[in-house]
Amino acid sequence: MTGRPAIAVFVVLVLILIASVANVAIQVWQRAPAIAGDWEAVRGLIQASQPTSTPTRPAQATLTGVVSVKPGDPIGKHLSDQGNSHVPANTRVTTYNSVPPTSGPHWPTPTPWGSYVTSLADEQLVHNLEHGGIVISHNTTPDVVEKLGALRASYPRDRFGSVKIVVRPYDLIPRGQIALTAWTWLDVLETYDETRIRSFITAHMNQCCEDVP
């Protein structure tokens, strides 16, 4: 009889354990929809936090209104070369193919580089062009003349200690105009345009014909 009570106790314990497991299983089954809903919500949050497409770097801004000019670029109007013969000082030349001239017969001595308030002879300044210089001729207002002088002063001196630019008044062009000349090149501006002037200088300075001061 001693073994039977022990077996009975064991059976009772097993039944209690089975009942407990069954109770837990029922509770889990009852909560399954809520648990599933919670999981779907979590999965939705995970998916929402992920980027829908591969991020890209913002495109760099494109500079506008900036012209890249190199020495020798064809800026302005190209004119035929009228030669570089010398004529006696104070001789007037009437055969130039443009106003102001860009090549042709000229006096033996160029004018010193600089900004001038008085007129200079075309026949002398053509020699400056032959030395690779730029002549800025103007028939404009005092404020523009001041800007032209400041523009010239902004350029560094070359290996000869010179800034090969001459700025001079010139009444043979219409009022308000600025004429830029280099050897066989001409550009006429109706108004002051610093970018255009600097482009012309960059393109044509020291492109002809004598590597001298």
Asked if the structure places residue 171 within a domain, the reply is yes
Domain annotation covers residue 24: yes
Are residue 86 and residue 14 in the same domain, yes or no? no
Gap between the Cα atoms of 183 and 81, Å rounded = 8
Q: What angle do CA 110, 113, 115 make, to 5 degrees?
A: 125
> What gap in Å lies between CA 135 and CA 76, rounded to an integer?
14
Whether residues 83 and 186 share a domain: the answer is: yes
pLDDT of residue 5: 58
- Same domain, yes or no, for 117 and 191? yes
User: In this structure, is residue 210 part of a structural domain?
Assistant: no
Residues 31 and 92 occupy one common structural domain: no
Total count of domains within the chain: 2
Looking at the fold, whether 195 and 141 belong to one and the same domain comes out as: yes
Residues 90 and 172 in one domain: yes
Residue 122 domain-assigned?
yes
Residues 170 and 116 in one domain: yes
Judge if 9 and 85 occupy the same domain: no
Q: Which domain holds residue 105?
A: 77-204
Q: Is the pLDDT of residue 149 over 70?
A: yes
Q: Does residue 186 form part of some domain?
A: yes
Residue 71 lies in a domain: no
Asked if 32 and 83 sit in the same domain, the reply is no
Q: What is the CATH number of the domain that holds 168?
A: 3.40.30
pLDDT tens for each residue of 53-102? 443 333 333 333 345 899 999 999 999 999 999 999 999 999 999 999 99
Give domain status of residue 173, yes or no.
yes
Q: Is residue 20 part of a domain?
A: yes
Q: Which residues contact 31 (CB under 8 A, 6 or more apart)?
A: none
> How far, in Å, CA of 212 to CA of 131, rounded?
6
Residue 123 scores a pLDDT above 90: yes
The region of weakest confidence among 54-68, 92-106, 159-173, 192-206 is 54-68
